Amino acid sequence: MSSRSARTGGTPLPQSLAADIDGEIAILRLNRAQKRNALDDDMVAGIDAFFGDLPAGVRAVVLCGEGEHFSAGLDLSELKGRDIREGIAHSGRWHRAFEKIQYGRVPVVAVLHGAVVGGGLELAAAAHVRVAERSAYYALPEGSRGIYVGGGGSVRLPRLIGVARMMDMMLTGRTYSAEEGLTMGLTTYLVDAGEGRAQGIALARRIAGNTELTNFAIMQALPRIAEMPPGSGFAMESLISSIAQADPEAKSRLRDFLEKRAPKVTRS
């Protein structure tokens, strides 16, 4: 793969993160395998910086983890001695960083394997597409740790799996497999061991081939429309639809399709 080291605003990422640019695709890797990619303050700040200053030519991002796990969640050693005020500020930093994934400039494909636990699951939930290898497992062990989710899990996860299921995961420590995640809404694509990154990159390239305006509408408008009252949602949908189809690139693609220069949709 032809790539170059990714930098954000001229500043290198922390050693616990590694990134490459390959054409229109950026690949961000959690690079703290010796700690099961547990997320500490430096990693979260690096994620914030990376997604806040993506190179202009990047049109999709693949997010993955080095070693045997995607992420085992929050580095609990950072909780020692933190008071309420510091805890609120810490949670806010996670919220800001993960917001730049969910509502950032480009779509994000998360590639999951091994532990996708606690804050690691909160991070994965901020992505737009999740590719899980069969080794992946999901858990929210906060209840047994005497803590509570703080990286946006209360907001994002109930929209994926429902309040009751999330409550059960937190109260009992229940763990779900990648296969079970497929029926729950956590896993979007299920692949065999070792195939996740290649599948994630292939999906990111397909996503990067869409018009930027359409991807923006899907990321920014769709989740907000889904939360609107129906009348407001229909009105917003009409507005976004008219804006997207008026884009010159969209007009060119429609013309290619009508003049039989573009492929039709077929079953893969």
Q: CATH number for the domain including 227?
A: 1.10.12.10
Q: Has residue 264 been placed in a domain? A: no
> Long-range contacts of range 76-80, CB-CB < 8 Å, 24 or more positions apart?
76/38, 76/145, 78/40, 78/41, 79/147
Residues 140 and 221 in one domain: no
Across the chain, mean pLDDT equals: 91
Report the predicted TM-score, pTM, of the whole model to 2 decimal places. Answer: 0.91
Residues 148 and 23 in one domain: yes
pLDDT-based confidence at residue 246 (cuts at 50, 70, 90)? confident
Residues 131 and 202 in one domain: yes
Residues 47-81: pLDDT tens digits?
999 999 999 999 999 999 999 999 999 988 877 77
Residues 249 and 150 in one domain: no
* Helices 248-258 & 230-245 angle (0-180, nearest 10): 80
161: left (phi > 0), else alpha (psi -120 to 50), else beta?
A: alpha
Q: Has residue 265 been placed in a domain? A: no
Look up the domain containing 235 and give its range: 212-258
How confident is the model at residue 2, as a pLDDT?
36
For the domain that residue 153 is a member of, what is the CATH number?
Answer: 3.90.226.10
Q: Strand ranges (DSSP E) for the chain?
A: 4-5, 17-22, 25-30, 60-65, 108-112, 115-117, 129-133, 137-139, 176-177, 189-191
How confident is the model at residue 4, as a pLDDT?
42
The pair phi, psi for residue 17, each rounded to 5°, is: -130, 150
Q: Has residue 29 been placed in a domain? A: yes
**Count of domains observed in the chain:** 2
Choose among 176, 188, 111, 96: nearest CA to 141.
176
CA atoms within 13 A on the CB side of 4: 6
- Contact criterion met (CB below 8 Å) for 3 and 20: yes
d(CA 146, CA 155): 20
- Catalytic residues, which ones? 122, 142
